[in-house]
Amino acid sequence: MTNDLTIAKALNQALRTAMEEDSKVLLFGEDIGKLGGVFRVTDELHKDFGDHRVLDSPLAESGIVGTAIGLAMRGYRPVLEIQFDGFVFPAFDQIISQLAKVHRRTNGSVKLPITIRIPYGGGIGAVEHHSESPETFFTHIPGLRVLTPSDPQSAYSCLLSAIRSNDPVIFFEPKRRYWDKGFVDRTESPVDPWRARIVRTGSDVTVVAYGPMVKTALQAANASEYSLEVIDLQSLSPLDDRSIADSVERTGRLVIVHEAPGNLGLGAEIAARIGKSCFYTLEAPIERVTGYDIPYPPSKLEEHYLPDHDRILVAVDSAMEA
Amino acid sequence: MTNDLTIAKALNQALRTAMEEDSKVLLFGEDIGKLGGVFRVTDELHKDFGDHRVLDSPLAESGIVGTAIGLAMRGYRPVLEIQFDGFVFPAFDQIISQLAKVHRRTNGSVKLPITIRIPYGGGIGAVEHHSESPETFFTHIPGLRVLTPSDPQSAYSCLLSAIRSNDPVIFFEPKRRYWDKGFVDRTESPVDPWRARIVRTGSDVTVVAYGPMVKTALQAANASEYSLEVIDLQSLSPLDDRSIADSVERTGRLVIVHEAPGNLGLGAEIAARIGKSCFYTLEAPIERVTGYDIPYPPSKLEEHYLPDHDRILVAVDSAMEA
Amino acid sequence: MTTAPQPQNPAVQLLTPEGELVTHESYSLDLTHAQYKSLYREMVFVRRLDQEATALQRQGELGLWASSLGQEAAQVGSAFALEKNDFAFPTYREHGVAWMRGVDPMKIMEVYRGISNGGWDPLEHRCNSYTIVIGNQVLNGVGYAMGCTLDQSEDAVITYFGDGATAQGDVNEGFVFASTFDAPVVFFCQNNQWAISQPSEKFVKTPIYKRADGFGFPGVLVDGNDILAVIAVTKAALDRARSGAGPTLIEAFTYRMGAHTTSDDPTRYRHENDLQNWKLRDPIERLKVMLARNGIADRNFFDAIDIDADAWAHTLRAAVRSMGEPAPESIFDNVYADSHEALDAQRAAFLDYHEGFADSGVQS
Amino acid sequence: MTTAPQPQNPAVQLLTPEGELVTHESYSLDLTHAQYKSLYREMVFVRRLDQEATALQRQGELGLWASSLGQEAAQVGSAFALEKNDFAFPTYREHGVAWMRGVDPMKIMEVYRGISNGGWDPLEHRCNSYTIVIGNQVLNGVGYAMGCTLDQSEDAVITYFGDGATAQGDVNEGFVFASTFDAPVVFFCQNNQWAISQPSEKFVKTPIYKRADGFGFPGVLVDGNDILAVIAVTKAALDRARSGAGPTLIEAFTYRMGAHTTSDDPTRYRHENDLQNWKLRDPIERLKVMLARNGIADRNFFDAIDIDADAWAHTLRAAVRSMGEPAPESIFDNVYADSHEALDAQRAAFLDYHEGFADSGVQS
Ligand SMILES: Cc1ncc(C[n+]2csc(CCOP(=O)(O)OP(=O)(O)O)c2C)c(N)n1
Ligand SMILES: Cc1ncc(C[n+]2csc(CCOP(=O)(O)OP(=O)(O)O)c2C)c(N)n1
Ligand SMILES: [Mg+2]
Ligand SMILES: [Mg+2]
């Protein structure tokens, strides 16, 4: 069965599927019930599954994650919604001290199959704290997995995999792409969320992106005079650097794109790994096209902060001219 | 005036100096009064400066940082103690959402000259949450500065600079080196905390370390058959990559050492920057010697987790043999 | 869905919804006629500001707006009670407070237009930037108050938060720190019945003001739509704070008459009825009736204010529409207070890059 | 420094410090003689465990120890009140609770020896791993209790924390969530008067149990050194929880007779006097006098238990000393539940590396 769905709707469908296939899956978060979440990703689910499967939480993120851990110990598979990227930090302690460590601490006795959905990234003209890209903080934490889809199909497949995973998964949703449409195959899983996927093949430069920047990278590829291979990471942790290396072995050049500040952004890790594994085949320095090392700016200025296809093209040119 | 001091005592002296030179400097944290802190870094200061300069706080880290922000708005220069590395996370939200952003948000009107002292790192045989190296989380946040000393002299100079800085500074203290002794020149500042310093010159391989690993790197340098140049970063943010690059331009080889997990550890950023800036002079892939991507293990196993001089030597050999 | 809840315990009231002055055993307020009239004027302007901003948002001139409609008495009244040197820590909704602290409304507009994240200088107005992360400002305010004590000054602090915010750890830690240090702070909770789509009675099983007791300081419930009671109660709490007796929690029972923000759609979760009930308790109407009934003001006065407000709103609208935009490279400003070479280098590269596009004629 | 504080309001007591049985208007307890005797035995063993561990730490066999000395009645009594399927969420100090949940003390030793961060299987014993980050376990316990409700089971939860912990955001958020969802959880606060060097009266301006009221559920103060009162009060709270009526906060007023941990030096911050006062209120002595006075047990019984405990402690000591160490590569175990190639690769490289040293004869 295929359908033309928005990312938001694909996520909604994935939640529905997960709830249908496992009665232990429950949704928990602020305003996710009647309101359907501020982005309506949980639309209709409260109505269809009821109070015991879709729970509105008090306004306290540490509380949401902290109690979800207890729910998981009791056998539930909570899928949490954090309303915006900038509001996950009150829960950071529970995430790093408990969520990420309990399975290891208990020698495998206690599993915490918890998914934390977080709409993230900029570009929607929002006020402060509503446009952050905090993936570094979670990718650096052992014990967590981190996924982020880029289109409706990966949204559907990644979210289902996240919920089915027996490990805690931080699931970043590219909020400014929520309304992008695409086909979704729901009968099987045509996408392996844990692997990077080549979303456009090319021979001159490998461009690695994830989440909202995949579309931007594809735009750049369309506009470039060079042949760009665009890779969508999907999984930020574990990082599928082998797929990147395979591509770089062919192209000899790498450009990495993300919205988060460059300093210790994910691009740093990718550059470090590929710089080592492809040391003898890299023909140019690895380029990073990222947010600057500043707090996310007020919305009227966000376009100057966010990587766009021009900045990617300039980086591609640098790589080609090196 | 020079003295043979431990790092803990050098820090204590720096606090005393700062409190003497500016009556707005005050200390705030758990058990820092009569007890003098669990590591005695604030020893005697409560007695000598009184209740209004050395304040024991309730047991709540978000509260400590959150109220310190208000104190700074009122003109104070709070120096906070977080008891152990693993207990800074309840304060993470106040740090990232307020501490790091207020100066920018207020267009420079409000300065937050707050120093957060955090004993960090492993090697002391402690229970869980007492051996973490969380520097990535803070180094990735624009608006913060991050310092970590490696010996008594840098401890003294760095802490004074942190307190005198008009920006918030996260100050990581290498707890397992607290009792290491060395000379401290307190009359002037022989060390610029914001620059990396070459603590041993060499010509074959540049070894970059910081905090507790500087000593380990020096041990490796002593044991190596090659000539190692050892760099102590001191400042993790901003990162003085130019000094590293200068060294690598001479040696052609780089090994980075830290305790934190490798994945998105500081080594990633250093490797990414040097991989780019020294692309044409690097003679071998950049090596990282780091903690593994696992939660810090129980203490009986920590020696297997922590980089030691053998692991550094193996990395040096790899770099030389590449 | 339920009908509009009433505070379970009698709230302090000095002015009934019908505009009658009543007495209270513990609280009273003695204002001049001029002051009563000025309070009315302030509330009308604050409401007009809110209306105008809502309209500007619809027209695309603002990115978002959080309406203060219905909460004018709680905001204007509590801020009126402050001394000049006191310090206010608002959330994102306290336009009435910012107004009373002398903040230029254009600076508020800057924040919701996306030109600045802060707008005004908090130290100049002794009114903090709006805080969006729920609860953060409570601890910041308590810290500021601790500083007032250390300074042995008589300054006090008021920190605002909503009913929803009472769930946050930071708010409760604020109670602990304030209690421990006898900080001169007033915790001013506007219980406007809603946290976005969540009715407050769902998460708050006991009246909010009762929370204070267990932290070792008093709590007071006040009719938040009665500006006189709000002033009296807030003044008393500030006096207490100044005297060194420590914090007070005030629960101002009010109602969010608008949507949560312009992005919100309250029809998904609340009945129109609730709103109608609360319209009968409108804080501005109430004071107006009192002024008229007691012959303090007449129709000419009210009309003149409306005309003033209209004119003012007109100017505001025009000013917002023609607001300039900061230079792109200003995104690098003020990230650090001390010099920062690495960021200077990023700014320089940024300028070079845009220079490049300008030269080549490419649109960036 | 002050003399040992007394609870300001009368705490529930069924057994006086002098070992007299007294009645209480709301609480009573009916135990068999065998049960009384077994409670005594459990407390003696828990104390012995604590002594032994303290000694082992001094001898370098443990990395650290957090003593439960003086808190045996609070811990053994509250855990005694649990049903088999109830779930306990301890801090790092509840050795008496772990003991009562059937956790092998060797597993506790593993944690403090640095061999494991968790020791036992929490699901098997329905007793969570020790939680070190202050307050975290309170939310985890509340969540588990919410699950009990969703399951429509009669299971209940008890979650432990100290007086110091009441300042933490997580603990207060735990109160909010429990109240909102009527979660079947008992908040059991051992007010042992100290949070490391901080006397509880410094940060807690009003008795802790009173905190509950403002969150919408009852709080009870109990003499934490009176095991009978602890059992009665905890049982009542658990029953209430099971019935769907929601949480209860119990403040068990007790005293930390030892140092905070073996790393601590209490002479820096407290008078020896305080301790002496509290020795008169020793929880074990109190029950012993009651047993003797009422002819429930005699000297032979007490002596036999001491001999048993000695023998047991001897075995424990030997076992700890000869405890094996996990394989180095086990540090990679159980980081993830599902397969994880990247980490498998790290483990393989780790093994290769050590293999290399083994081959070359180099000591790693
Ligand atoms: C930490 C955090 N979580 C979530 C949000 C999103 N959010 C913004 S306002 C709001 C509701 C606030 O309700 P209340 O405290 O009652 O204040 P009100 O909006 O009614 O004035 C929420 C959930 C936020 N801003 N910060
Ligand atoms: C979040 C956090 N901050 C600080 C610490 C360090 N610490 C360990 S125990 C303790 C005092 C706890 O006091 P209390 O809650 O009264 O429990 P008690 O030790 O008396 O049983 C502190 C500050 C910690 N473990 N976690
Ligand atoms: Mg509200
Ligand atoms: Mg205690």
pLDDT digits (tens, 9 = 90+) for B135-173: 999 999 999 999 999 999 999 999 999 999 999 999 999
Over chain A, what is the mean pLDDT? 97
**Confidence category of residue D267, pLDDT binned at 50, 70, 90:** very high
| Nearest atom, ligand 2, residue D132 CA | 25
**Confidence category of residue C275, pLDDT binned at 50, 70, 90:** confident
Residue A91's identity, in one-letter code, is: A
- Is the pLDDT at A39 greater than 50? The verdict is yes
For ligand 2, mutation pick of B31, B59, B94 (most atoms within 8 Å of CB): B59
Query: Chain C contacts of D214, Cβ < 8 Å?
Result: 206, 210-215, 219
CA–CA dist B72, D65 (Å, integer)? 38
| Contact check, Cβ <8 Å, D213/C214 | yes
**Confidence category of residue D164, pLDDT binned at 50, 70, 90:** very high
C253: left (phi over 0), alpha (psi -120 to 50) or beta: beta
| Contact check, Cβ <8 Å, C117/A60 | no
> Would you call D260 a catalytic residue per the annotation?
yes
Give, to the nearest 10 degrees, the angle between helix B61-73 and helix C169-180: 70
Q: What is the pTM of this model?
A: 0.98
Q: Within 10 Å of residue C288's Cβ, how many Cβ atoms?
A: 19
Decide if domain C33-321 falls under CATH 3.40.50.970: yes
**Which of B163, B233, B222, B208 shows the shortest CA–CA distance to B21?**
B163
Average the pLDDT over B36-53 and give the result.
Answer: 97
Which residue of B60, B128, B297 is in closest CB contact with D168?
A: B60
**Domain A2-185 and domain A197-321 have a common topology:** yes
Note the pLDDT of residue C1: 35
Pairing between strand A77-81 and A115-120?
Answer: parallel
Catalytic residue, from C24, C242, C269, C271: name it: C269
Note whether B311 contacts D: Cβ–Cβ < 8 A.
yes
For the record, the structure tokens of A155 come out as 């949204």
Closest-CA residue in chain D for C175?
D167
- Is the pLDDT at D358 greater than 80? The verdict is no
Closest-CA residue in chain C for D178?
C203
For ligand 1, mutation pick of C134, C194, C204 (most atoms within 8 Å of CB): C134
Contact B148, B7 (CB under 8 A): no
Calculate how close chain B gets to C115, using CA atoms only, in Å.
Answer: 11
**Confidence category of residue D3, pLDDT binned at 50, 70, 90:** very low
Average the pLDDT over A252-258 and give the result.
Answer: 98
Over chain C, what is the mean pLDDT? 95
More confident residue, D361 or D30: D30
* Touching partners of C (3+ C-beta pairs < 8 Å): A, B, D
Share of chain C above pLDDT 70, in %: 96
Q: How far is the CA of C132 from the centre of ligand 1 (A)?
A: 8
C224 lines ligand 1 (CB under 6 A): no
Q: How far is the CA of C133 from the centre of ligand 1 (A)?
A: 7
Q: What is the pLDDT of residues B234-261, one digit of tens each?
A: 999 999 999 999 999 999 999 999 999 9
Note the pLDDT of residue D272: 82
Residue listed under structure tokens 């650096």: A140
Q: What is the dihedral of CA D7, D12, D18, D23, to 10 degrees?
A: 150
- Is the pLDDT at C3 greater than 60? The verdict is no
Note the pLDDT of residue D273: 83
Please, which residues have CB within 8 angstroms of residue D156's CB and are 6 or more apart in sequence?
Answer: D82, D83, D86, D87, D145, D148, D184, D185, D186, D238, D241, D242
**Confidence category of residue A2, pLDDT binned at 50, 70, 90:** low
CA–CA dist A245, A258 (Å, integer)? 18
**Confidence category of residue A320, pLDDT binned at 50, 70, 90:** very high
Which residue of A59, A128, A301 is in closest CB contact with C134?
A: A59
- The residue whose C-alpha atom lies closest to atom 21 belonging to ligand 2 is D162
| Contact check, Cβ <8 Å, A264/B268 | yes
**Confidence category of residue D363, pLDDT binned at 50, 70, 90:** very low
Q: Within 10 Å of residue D317's Cβ, how many Cβ atoms?
A: 17
Any idea what DSSP says for residue B50? -
- Is the pLDDT at C172 greater than 80? The verdict is yes
Note the pLDDT of residue C8: 53
Note whether A1 contacts C: Cβ–Cβ < 8 A.
no
Query: Chain D contacts of C219, Cβ < 8 Å?
Result: 214
Interface ipTM = 0.97
Calculate how close chain D gets to A66, using CA atoms only, in Å.
Answer: 5
Note the pLDDT of residue C363: 43
CA–CA dist B142, A120 (Å, integer)? 18
Half-sphere exposure at residue A38, Cβ-oriented, CA atoms within 13 angstroms: 21
Note the pLDDT of residue C2: 40
Q: What is the pLDDT of residues A233-250, one digit of tens each?
A: 999 999 999 999 999 999
Domain ranges, ordered by start, for chain D: 33-321, 327-364
Please, which residues have CB within 8 angstroms of residue C253's CB and are 6 or more apart in sequence?
Answer: C7, C11, C191, C221, C222, C223, C224, C225
Calculate how close chain D gets to C9, using CA atoms only, in Å.
Answer: 14
Query: Chain D contacts of B304, Cβ < 8 Å?
Result: 328-329, 331, 350
Give, in words, the CATH class of A2-185. Answer: alpha beta
Q: How far is the CA of B32 from the centre of ligand 2 (A)?
A: 14
**Confidence category of residue D360, pLDDT binned at 50, 70, 90:** low
Residues of chain A numbered 128-157 and touching chain D (CB < 8 Å): 142-143, 145
Query: Chain B contacts of A293, Cβ < 8 Å?
Result: 142
Q: For the structural domain made of A197-321, what CATH number should be given?
A: 3.40.50.920
- Is the pLDDT at C5 greater than 50? The verdict is yes
- Is the pLDDT at C364 greater than 70? The verdict is no
Q: How far is the CA of A32 from the centre of ligand 3 (A)?
A: 17
Contact B319, B255 (CB under 8 A): yes
Contact C209, C220 (CB under 8 A): yes
| Nearest atom, ligand 1, residue C256 CA | 20
Note the pLDDT of residue A97: 98
Q: What is the dihedral of CA A123, A126, A128, A132, to 10 degrees?
A: -40
Domain ranges, ordered by start, for chain A: 2-185, 197-321
Q: How far is the CA of C254 from the centre of ligand 3 (A)?
A: 9
